[in-house]
Structure 1
Amino acid sequence: MITLYDSAVRPREVATHAPTLALPQGTLWVDLIDPSDDEDARVERATNLVLPRAQQLAEIETSSRLVVEGDVLLMSTPVLYREEGELHTIPVGFVLGQHLVVTVRAHALKSFADYVEGRRGALALEGPVDVLLGLLDSIIARMADGMEAVGAELDCVSREIFGLSHAEDRHKPVRTERRLSNTLQTIGRGGDTTSHARDSLLGLNRLLTFLATKGGDRITPDHRERIEVLRQDVAALGDYETRLTDKVQFLLDSTLGFVNIEQNRTFKLLTIASVIGIPPTFVVGLYGMNFKNMPELDWHYGYQWGLSLTLISIVVPVVWLKVKGWF
């Protein structure tokens, strides 16, 4: 899909099967979402720019992501993308020419929609660099919201692990096992998200540095000031991401520690049961031999004697283990 935007960031969709693409006067931004080869070719003919293809956007080398071709800057960076509740990264390409900027992405991004919505009623933009910086600002802001959500989720996990709200579950192993399993899944999602955020932050920082260095005369002092502010935002998010990563590791270690405690408690209970069961098993086995010279077998109170001895053999180990503090 091709969408054109003017200096007021007013969208204008282009017909999918139109044979040619004519750019209206004042077009600053051409946005392509999952473009076909035909759409790529039409935009290239209309803008005289070479657009990156999907395989080029997926390259991880800096030399492939940040390229100068004459007076055109070709840039790409991974951006956080939520799909079916899960966060991933998708590559987004930016082609900055002298008079317009072209963006290429495989999916619709909320950060782009937020930028367009936020420009309603605002002053007209002066050039494509303003569009690019506005998009990057929206991407960074959206990422900050996602990382804050991850931080809040990890705080809830921390309270779940170390709080007392589930102390009663200790006597319900199945419930405890389910809770620990859910906790591990939440921590895993948090770790996965912070990993994707780290990739995106690294890409954004390199892109901003590249833009400030290679932008030439298009980058005015005001632009450089905005770029520096965005770089500071990225650096702050990088510090926050590091803290989240440390917290994920800490919560993971803590949760696995609780898993080991639960396993040890289970083994201890099995050990106690086996220790308690040995004496009565011996008594029952002894009187189950049925030798003729066992006077208790013919005794009137032999059954009561054997039953009492069995009960005593159970009670004595229980009392002894309780005194030793096993349970």
Structure 2
Amino acid sequence: MEQIRKQELNKEETKKRILKRFHSRSAAAFFLIGVLVLFGTMTFSISYGAADIDWSIIREAILHFDDQNTDHLILYDLRFPRVIAAALVGSFLAISGVIMQGLTRNPLASPSIMGVSSGAGFMVAVAFALFPQTSQGGLIIWAFLGAGLGAGLVFSIGLVSKRGLTPVKLALGGAAVSALLQSASTMLAMYFNVNRDISFWYAGGIAGVSLASVRLAAIVAVVGFVFSIGLSRPLTLMSLGDEVAKGLGQRLGVIRTVGILVVLLLTGTAVSISGTIGFIGLVIPHITKKLIGMDYRWIIPFSAIFGAWLLVTADIVARVINPPYETPVGALTALIGVPFFLILARRDGRGWK
């Protein structure tokens, strides 16, 4: 009896130690700074374009919208939806990467590498080819199903492998599945003559995002963020290993199921809006952990801010590089993500065999 009591006390002490706030005031202040920087970047993105718009006009459009004012119409029809979509998509992909890495304890886990983004893009291509009148809400459903397809194909590789899905096999399996699904999408595009729409989706970009898409994404954001924050405590405990998490009362099967559903929802929504933008879900979680630590109660909200800022900034750069033409945002994030991937592979490769 005494031994059982000691074990329970040890569990409680371990739980308190793991979940103890690490410099909570500093983290809160840092988070507020991050929000302000994101807001400033979004404001600059809104004001910058083929026709520069002053902050006073932006404020007037928000407070006193005039449908006869050309600048107001540009803001509401084009720039507000675009910058909000960029922030939401960036945060969706970053949070998805955090959850995937937390569930699998795999440093290479991300929507783009694990076939989730490619699967979502493939099913969007199917929708374009077979059901061209599909609404934005319908595209989100198709992308959600495709994200599940891509992830399922990659994880099935681990089921037939003797040593399971190691990080190396994850990267190779994800690359193979992504190539397969992208090839299938290209074949559909050529056969049904929808090359233009599908090529935009695979290039990645947020130009021309509609206000209806932003409204749907905002609803998904509320649901996804709530469940993500709910997963933060279990993910922190799981980072110490399954046995420790079980000993502290975590139901790992339920946690993994909810986490996978959240990832599929967020990634599917992101792909249905912006196409396949890669590497945000890989890069941002690692940067956040370096800056914040291993408490997922902070990692998840900080990753959302950093991911949103990265994509809003990339969208600005995409418009600056070669005006009046736009560079695909997916190409810019790849320029950041590929070197980071190689550095990560070189640093951690010894432990992957």
TM-score, scaled relative to structure 1: 0.24
**Pair member with larger Rg:** 1
TM-score, scaled relative to structure 2: 0.23
